[in-house]
Every structure is written in structure tokens, then in C-alpha cells.
Structure 1
Amino acid sequence: MKKELYQWQEECLERWFSNNGRGIVQAVTGAGKTFLALTAAARLEKRLGRRLRVKIVVPTAALMRQWNQALREFLTDSCGDKGNSGDIRGEIGLRGGGHKGENGRRYMIYVINSARYELARKILAELRGGEAVLLIADECHHYGSGQNSLIFEFLPYIKPCGENFFSLGLSATLPAGEERQYLSSVLGREIYSYGMEEAGAMRTVCRYDIFHIGLEFRKEEREEYEEISEQMSRLSHKLQQMYPALRELGQRERYAMLSQITGGGDKRAAEAAARYLALSYKRKSVVCLASERVSCVCALIERLDVKKGILIFGERVSQAEELYGILQNKYPGRVGRYHSKMGRQANKNVLERFYTGEIHILIACKAMDEGVDIPEASVGIVLSGTASKRQRVQRLGRIIRKKEGKGRASLYYLHIADTSEDSCFLPETKESRIFEIEYQPGRHGFSHPIYDVAAEELIEDAENTGMDREKVEEVKRCLEIGQVRADWMMGQEEIEGKTQDAGRVRERNYWVCMKRMGRLRENRK
């Protein structure tokens, strides 16, 4: 059955065609940018009344495989009974990520590393040969500077045949400043923006809950963090006296300027800047590798439904491996890991196992921050929050992608209190709910103030009505699980349905407790 476009996609295509088939689309991860782009190509070819050459550029081999699969499915749906899988495969060529497909196929998908040195020449040759060409730049924020921008080298030479060139840039998080201006100059202006607020309201992504989990340093970690911060403060004061402009810059611009100073002629300033940057990296490592992170994730997973797809995002491979060892011992055969040191085939295999439900917990490092489509995941746990805003949005996007039968998604965001992480939160929208909880390592548990007040009332009521000790302990167990979930916020009818569907007594008990918690919440409104 053919997929239908969402309303936002139709509006977006209308604007793209009004802009002569040029432009950039900024849309939240999971909203359907791939399908939008393939539909744009199909409609453009129909309008032109002749064959269109489509060039798709992606940043990674994993994304190339994903686009290849999406393109084959799209062409199969479009052809119906008229085509077969062999014909469709013959239309698609892959370049990069170990693939060296024939470069002249109708649809070409390039990994950027391969595209840099051949794509511009190929597009120019096809345009001069009278062909119509559409360039789709996926995750286009990668192509605004450095060697990656070589893919646009052909543009100054296409004037005689420029009416046959079309472009579409796609990104969830466009860069600011000069890079954004450059991308607009080569791909066309930003024609449409579709954010989390709109996507949630129009149900193009799952509704979601965000849990901010506060952690504490251990004593020695706090001392190290404060010592590094003090050294950085002294160096910052010294550098600002030498370069007053540093005072006016944002963090990103300040770090860029400090990097330039390290290579400058002023030896004293260069040494101070280099020392500051080294300390900054060291401080980030102290925050990122704080001991309580792994302990907190283990406590959290004990309270979550392991049958659901749980995606854990780490910053460092060593941390991911440590957590993998602990969880694999606890949940044998149900845990996998995905990171740059695993190798392409191993990563591909573990993703397939996660897709099919063979494993339920997947620990991933930055290799999965961008583009990889995992609709099976409905729970995300961010081990470390020191990543950029782009990475935070992309990680949320991994778990809010829609899939039939998938309910609300949940993102657990771990952060160390009183550090630079405190401001790394995602914005609240009308379709999201945000909860503030704290991890308490001494009892391997959590504190959730609003929830805990109602839970204590429920326990007190159970004890006062003469409930025997064993049943009171069961109530406490159920309430402890609910402390890190949003099930108590469900409507009474929905909870009743969950209670009826429960297959085990312990599961049924849990939903009975959540129903009572929900009533307490309603009574307090």
C-alpha cells in the first residue's frame, strides 16, 4: 500500500517547487525527511517529463544502507506490478562504505568521503550532456565547510545548463552563521522548518516524556572537578587580559578563537590557550566518566520494561564496554553494543538483532547519533549530557520515530549536579512531559518528590487498613518501579486496560498500584 504524505510534507513540497526545486528543509528527526525527498524526486521527474538523475549524499555508510533500503521500497511501491526487484536494484548505485558501484546509474547514493572527489565532476558532466540532476544532501549541516564542501565545486560552471539542476538539503539541526549562509548559497534558502512542537501536535512523531536524573560526584571526583575549574578560571582571566574580545564570545566561538591562539606567534598566549583547552577536555572527561552514571543506569533498567527497546547513548567506548559487561551478565543474550571500534559488519549485525527483537537493550556511542533509523526503540537513556545541542536533538529523535503499536516514548537524561551539564536540557513542548528525579546511590534507588508524596500516602493507607506485611512490601515494590515511569499519569481507562491485559500477577499488581496513584493525582488537582 502506498504511503501518504503528511500535511507538512505536502506544504513543504509546494514551497520547494515554488522555489524552482531548490532549498533546505529543517525537520525534526523521525518526521519523514527521507520519504519527503524521494517523493520530491518522483514528482519532479513527472513534471519534467523526462528521466531525472538523482544524487544522494550522506555522511556515513550506515545512512547509505538506510537510504538504499528506503529507495528500493519507494521504487517498488511506485512501480507496483510493472517492475521487479532485479530491475530496481539495477537502477541504484552505491559509492563509499566499501561499495564501488557503477557511477552512471539513475540513482546514486554517495558517502561524503567518496563524494568529495568525484561527485562535482560527475554532476557537471551530466548537466553538460543535457541531463536533469537532483542533488539530495542528507544531514547537510556536514557539508558547509572544509573538504566536504568540495561536492559543490561544479556550481560556478553550470550557468548555461543551470535550469536542469535541482537541490534539496535535509537536516534536523542546521548550523548558524557563515556555514548556514554558505549552505543557502549552494542548496537554496531554507524553505521549511518543522520542529518538535509541530511534529508532536500533528502526531508525526510519538509523544514523549523526559526524565532529568540528577547525579552527584563522589568526593574525589568533585575535588578533581573543582581543582580543574579553578585552574581554568585563572587561565581564562589571563587570556581575557591578552585578548579582551574573548569576553564577548559564546562558548563555540570562544573555543574556536582559543584554538587559533594556540597556533599564533605569541608563545605565552599560545601556551595558556593550549593549557586551557587541555584542562577543558580533562574536565569534560571527569563529568562524562563519573562513577555514578553506570550504577544509575543499572538501577534504572531494573525498574523499566526490558521487553521494550531500550537504547543507551554513551560518550566514551570504555564506558559503553563497562556497562555492556555488567548488563550482559544480568540480562544474558539480551544486550548488544554499537560503536566505532566494533567494525562495520558487527555493528550491522547488532542493529539487525535489535530490529528483530532478539536483543532488547542496545548501548551505542556517537556512531549512532546521526541518521540511523531505529523505530523499535521507545526508551532512550543518555549516559552523559555533555554532547552538543545537535546530538541531544538527534538522540531524542532516535526514540520518537513512529511505529505501529508504539506508545509514548521516554528519554532519561543523566546529569551531574552543579556542573556545566546543568544547562544541557531539552526544551519542553505541549506534547511532552518533564520529570525531575534524583539518583541515590546509597540505596541504589531514586527520589521523585511529587511522586513520592503520593506513594507514601498510598503505603500509609495500606498499613492503616491492616494489609499484611507481605502485601505491603509488594505495594512498595510496585511503587518503586513506577517512580521512574510516567504510567501513573495515564487515564484510568487506559490503566484499567493494562491491568486486564497483564499476563503475570506481579504485572497486574503494578497496574493496580498505578491506578490508585492516578486517583490520588486526580484528587489533588
Structure 2
Amino acid sequence: MQSAARGIAELADNGGTAKWITSPKLTEEDWEAIKKGDEARSDEVLRETLEKTINDLRYDLEYDTRNAIAWMIADGLLEIKFAIPTESLSGGDFHDKFGIFYDEDGNRVGFHGSQNDSEQALRNYEAYSVDCDWLGERDAEGVDSHEQRFKDLWEGRDSNVDTYSIPDGIAEDIAELRDYDNRPYTPFEEPDNSTTKDSNEITLRDYQREAVDNWFENNCHGLLRMATGTGKTFTALAALDEYLEQQDSPTLCVIAVPVTHLANQWAEEMDIFGFPSPRFLFGTANSDWKSDLSRVVSNIRLEFRDREFIITTHRTLSEEYFREKISTVDENTVLIADEVHGLGSEEQRKGLLDEYDARLGLSATPERYYDEEGTEFLLDYFGDIVYEYSLSDAVPEYLTPYDYEPIIVEMTQEELEEYRKESKKLASAAASEDIEEEVVEHLAMKRASIVKSAENKYRHLRRILQRIDDPDHLLVYTNPDQIDDVQQILNDEGVFHHKFTYHEDEDQRDELLEGFDAGDWDALVAMKCLDEGVDVPATRQAILMSNSGNPMQFIQRRGRVLRQAEGKDKAIIYDMVVVPSKDPPEDIATSERKLLEKELDRFAEFAENAKNRHTALNVIDDIRVKYRI
């Protein structure tokens, strides 16, 4: 014990804690009594034996070592258990020599050797094996093995060994060996995060308070369907904060986001609540995320940390390694899934494990478009929608009022002929039992691309930019086929802009968002990566050049525009609504009527809550009548 105790005063001074398992000095008579006796008798024999050795510690250990051990036990920094072999190892001693060290970042060193822990043994020729988990997966697995063995011993799950805690009173006797006039270390104090929370005066809005309460009433399971921009992240963290206050055991908190640049936004809001900095565990932010995940899980499983916070992506959440590690945690776990609809796909729903004790899903649109199975899975896993807060509830108190300007875009004659040709192919394929579903989907996507990239959209884009006159905080949503032409038009019109796509890395995206907010850029030209959860509250105008029929997409895009910002009293959304023709023939093709119906679904959603609702409706009424919709 003396050699093992070297440096523990420095460990304690740095806020470290320790757990030791050792073999007590038992006579053969003591061993037999423990082996044959019941639990109470075993405790009594162990107590009597330890009482005899307390005084020995006073003289056998050097002053510094004895004083440090006594103080650490008194301060609750050191726990000791005693291991005694069971009948299967009759007459033997607990003679295993291994351990694990952790630093403040969770890095782990595991060791195993034959050397006795005594002053004499230190002079022997001995060998150790050492694993450092940051060196690679093999070393990490070695440390994992040591951790599991230690935990099994500590919790009495090894059939070959009985493990006993120090009986009542013995720890106090050891603590009394300390020198009250010479504390060997300065008591470590955890940083007080409450000041962060108090200084920001965290107060939930009434609807956020109701959402949190409903989640707790549903046994800490549920989905929140809240309009984009109404503070879903803040509400979720408030729920997490209250949940953690109720937990006595170590808790692992996992936050899953759909795109990597949302991780920083979550981390920033976590700081408001005084949570410690989360670990980013996904490849683009952390190439060693697997090793870090292993350390985080070990910290919780071995109770070295009370709380651990992870931010990962939907994709990483569903990876096999991530799932395997999470499944080993038998302590408390929480999952918060941002933009939860993305986790309903067949591949990504693999990450929704039964091991998550508390579950909270967030989305303005939790239902998956044309995926009833995925939607049902999410509702079943998270425990249904426990709270709803719509756009009409939020405007104008919490979201910016907006005008909706639908722009009617006619197909060219060539596009209309191509659309009709592809419609016939699609109808024929869909009616055939011999053609695979993938072929039908491909034909549908090919036809849809004709609408998304309609040539006349460029002419209308120029007109919109000229109407705006001096674009300020403008978002332009495009698709890959349009983006080059759109950027050229913006250049021609003197609009200082930058593209915002998946080709920019995370640092570039952060710089672009900050620059856009500060007014360094007049406009951002975006594709899908601005659809979900990204905060761009300064946006005052948006031009929707390309939309799918998926409500999740256009509702999310509208939400980007409606967040409140200083000096922003209104937003404007310009939406290009494609029609086959403004003057359709009497014998309108079914496919053309369905095209317009799909476009009008989005139109109705946008117009419903607009300030200029009636004006917007008048724009489309003539078309509606002509197409008999």
C-alpha cells in the first residue's frame, strides 16, 4: 500500500479520486470463518481482522503516505474494498495486479503485471504490460478489458472472488490516523457553473414550460412538434437540465444532430445552462471519436464521472461501433434527437437503441414524407407527440411576420413536351408488374427535375432582384443544376454573395454565417445544408428557386427566414410556383393537374400565415380555376 500510495497527495490536489481493491491479511482461521459464515459473520470477521491492523498502519506506513491515505478516505476521495477468493480458489489469495489511470480529458492507461506492490518487490526483476487507449483500437480494447474486470470485481460479479466494502467504523478509524495540522493537499473544488445559469436568468416561455412538463408527464419520452424558430433547442436543454437534477446515478447524455454545423449551435446553448463542454464525436470534428467514445462510456460505467455530454450526428449515432459502446452502458442514458424525422430511415433508425432511458425528439415536421413505416417507428420509439406549437401560435410574438410573394413560372414549350413524355413513361412503368420500384422512382425524379430547373425561373430571379433593389440579408435556395447560373445572375446584378453548400468545411460555414449575420455578404446561395436547424436570424428575404414536394423541406426553409433579429420587423418570401401553362387546354392532362396540385400544397401552407394572405391567394385563384382545382 505504501508504494501504491506514492503521489496520491498530488492526485488529490488535482481533484483526482481512486478506487482500490486489495487482499486483507487474514489468518487461516479467519479465512475459514469467512468461507463458511453468512454475510453478517463475514463482515464481523473482516471487521475484527482490520481492527487489529489499524494500529499497524500507524507504524508500518511512512508518515506522508499514512497521512495522505487517511485524509483521502476522510474526504471521500479514496474507496477501498477487500477481495477474498471463493471456495473455487480455496486457500489462495487475491493476487491480481492491474489498474487503470485517467486524466482530466478521459485518456486512459491500463497496466497489468506480476510485481507485488511492496518496497522489496520494486527491487525485483519484473515486467508490466501497458495499454494507452489513444495509441489505437487494439490498445483501447486492452484498456476496456481491464476496466470490465475491475468493475466486475468492484460490484461483486466475479464468481471466483467475493468483494467486501470496509465495514462501518473502520473507514473512520483509518481517517483518524490523519494529522489535522498537516493536510497534504488542497481540497479540490469543482467550478461553480450555477453563476452562468443565474447570470443569464434562464426563464422559459409559457409554451416551453408546458412542453417540458408534458415530456416529464410522459415518463421522459416524447416528441416535440414545434415551429422552426420557437426555441426547440432551448426547450430540450431545459428539460435535460431538470432531468439531471433528479438523477442520483451517473448519466450519459447523447445529442444527435442531422448536420455537423449544428453541433456548435447546441454547444453554445449548452453553455448558457452551465453544462460542461460536450465532446464532438463524429469523424469530421474528431478523427479519434471512437477512442473518445470508449473513454466517455468507461467514465460513466465506472462512475468516474457523474455526467458526460456527447454531440454526434445522426449517421454516427447509427454506426455499429457507436451502438456497441452505448449498449454496454447499464447506467442512466438520455437521447435528444434534433430534427428527429431524419432518424426514421431504415439505416439511421438502427441508432435508436432500447438502452436510452430518456428520449426526446425535436422537429417542426416529425412525420416522414411518404414513409409511413418510418413515421410509425419514430412515434413508437419516442412515445408519440407530447407537445405541439405551430407557426400561427408563434407569429408575431416569437417569430417575425412575413409577406408571401408567389411567382408563377410557366414551363417552356420544350420543357412541357419533355414533361409529358416522361409522364407517359412513368405512368406505364408504374402500371407494370414487371418493372422494379427503383426504375419507377428514377423516372419520377427525372420528371421532377424538369420542374425544379425550369428555365424561366432565371428570368424571374432577375426581376425579383431588381424589385428588391438593394438586397440585404438574402437567402437564395437552389439545386445543383441551378447554382452556377444563379451565382452568375447575382454577379450581374451586383449582389455580393457566397455559396453555402456541402463543399465548404465546417470552419468555412461558421465564417459564412457570421459574415452573413454581420452584413459582410448581401446573400447566401444555399442548397440543402441550410434546410435543418441552422440559425440565420438576420435573414430578411428568401427566394425559393427550387423546392421539392416534401413539406419537411419547405417548412424548414421558411423557418430560416422567420427567426427574430434586432431591427427586423418583417420578412419576405419569394416562391417560384411552376405551372405547365397559364392558359391550359380544355383537355388538361392528369399529370399536369397533379403537378399544379403538388405545387399548390406548398402555396397553401405558406399563404395561410402570411400578413398578405388575401393578396397571395388572389395570385393563384385564376390558375386554380383554369386547372379546375
Normalising by structure 1, we get a TM-score of 0.67
- In the alignment, which of 358, 375, 380 is matched to residue 180 of structure 1? 375
Is 2:514 the counterpart of 1:352?
yes
Matching residue of 1:246: none
State the shift of 1:343 in Å: 4.3
Matching residue of 1:471: none
State the shift of 1:42 in Å: 0.9
Structural mapping, 1:6-45, within 5 Å: 6-45=205-244
Matching residue of 1:409: 571
- In the alignment, which of 403, 425, 428 is matched to residue 603 of structure 2? 425
- In the alignment, which of 258, 270, 284 is matched to residue 97 of structure 1? 284
Matching residue of 2:35: none
The one-letter code of the counterpart of 2:374 is E
- In the alignment, which of 323, 331, 347 is matched to residue 147 of structure 1? 347
State the shift of 1:9 in Å: 0.6
Q: 1:24 and 1:96, CA in 2 relative to 1: closer, same or farther beyond 3 A?
A: farther
Matching residue of 1:219: 413
Q: 1:346 and 1:93, CA in 2 relative to 1: closer, same or farther beyond 3 A?
A: closer
Is 2:400 the counterpart of 1:206?
yes
State the shift of 1:68 in Å: 2.0
The one-letter code of the counterpart of 1:414 is M
Is 2:411 the counterpart of 1:232?
no
Q: 1:390 and 1:402, CA in 2 relative to 1: closer, same or farther beyond 3 A?
A: same
Structural mapping, 1:456-495, within 5 Å: none
The one-letter code of the counterpart of 1:147 is E
Q: Classify the secondary structure of the residue corresponding to 2:529.
A: helix
CA distance in 2, matches of 1:347, 1:35: 22
The one-letter code of the counterpart of 2:612 is R
Matching residue of 2:119: none
Q: Classify the secondary structure of the residue corresponding to 2:358.
A: strand
Matching residue of 2:470: 306
Matching residue of 1:264: none
The one-letter code of the counterpart of 1:189 is D
State the shift of 1:352 in Å: 2.7
Determine which structure has more spread, i.e. the larger CA radius of gyration: 2
The gaps in structure 1 that reach 5 residues or longer are: 77-87, 243-268, 439-446, 451-525
The one-letter code of the counterpart of 1:193 is E
**More displaced 10-residue stretch of structure 1: 427-436 or 28-37:** 427-436
The CA deviation string for residues 386-415 of structure 1, in whole angstroms up to 9 with x for no partner, is 341110100101101122322122211101
Matching residue of 2:530: 368
The CA deviation string for residues 417-459 of structure 1, in whole angstroms up to 9 with x for no partner, is 2351532324244564336679xxxxxxxx9799xxxxxxxxx
CA distance in 1, matches of 2:311, 2:228: 20
Structural mapping, 1:10-409, within 5 Å: 10-48=209-247, 52-75=251-274, 88-89=276-277, 92-99=279-286, 100=288, 102-103=292-293, 104=296, 106-116=308-318, 117-126=320-329, 128=330, 131-153=331-353, 155=354, 165-175=357-367, 177-200=372-395, 203-236=397-430, 238-239=431-432, 242=433, 269-270=434-435, 276-304=440-468, 306-314=470-478, 316-331=479-494, 334-409=496-571
The one-letter code of the counterpart of 2:244 is E
The gaps in structure 2 that reach 5 residues or longer are: 1-199, 297-306, 581-591, 622-629
Structural mapping, 1:492-503, within 5 Å: none
| Contact kept? 1:144, 1:180, Cα under 8 Å | yes
CA distance in 2, matches of 1:399, 1:274: 35
The CA deviation string for residues 319-377 of structure 1, in whole angstroms up to 9 with x for no partner, is 11211122124326x21111223444443432232122100211101121112111111
CA distance in 2, matches of 1:430, 1:345: 36
The one-letter code of the counterpart of 1:111 is T
CA distance in 2, matches of 1:235, 1:179: 25
Q: Classify the secondary structure of the residue corresponding to 1:169.
A: strand
State the shift of 1:3 in Å: 4.1
The CA deviation string for residues 68-97 of structure 1, in whole angstroms up to 9 with x for no partner, is 222224327xxxxxxxxxxx43x5444343
Q: Classify the secondary structure of the residue corresponding to 2:204.
A: coil
Q: 1:179 and 1:232, CA in 2 relative to 1: closer, same or farther beyond 3 A?
A: closer
CA distance in 1, matches of 2:440, 2:225: 35
Q: 1:349 and 1:219, CA in 2 relative to 1: closer, same or farther beyond 3 A?
A: same
The CA deviation string for residues 253-312 of structure 1, in whole angstroms up to 9 with x for no partner, is xxxxxxxxxxxxxxxx227x6654443222212211111112211210121153531111
CA distance in 2, matches of 1:145, 1:417: 32
Q: 1:232 and 1:436, CA in 2 relative to 1: closer, same or farther beyond 3 A?
A: farther
Q: Classify the secondary structure of the residue corresponding to 1:23.
A: strand
The CA deviation string for residues 162-193 of structure 1, in whole angstroms up to 9 with x for no partner, is 8xx21111111112533232223322221111
CA distance in 1, matches of 2:441, 2:219: 46
Matching residue of 1:248: none
| Contact kept? 2:341, 2:363, Cα under 8 Å | yes
Q: 1:66 and 1:97, CA in 2 relative to 1: closer, same or farther beyond 3 A?
A: farther
Q: 1:33 and 1:229, CA in 2 relative to 1: closer, same or farther beyond 3 A?
A: same
| Contact kept? 2:338, 2:361, Cα under 8 Å | yes
CA-atom RMSD, angstroms?
A: 2.8
Tell me the number of residue pairs that the alignment of Structure 1 and Structure 2 aligns. 386
CA distance in 2, matches of 1:374, 1:96: 25
| Contact kept? 1:375, 1:398, Cα under 8 Å | yes
CA distance in 2, matches of 1:178, 1:172: 19
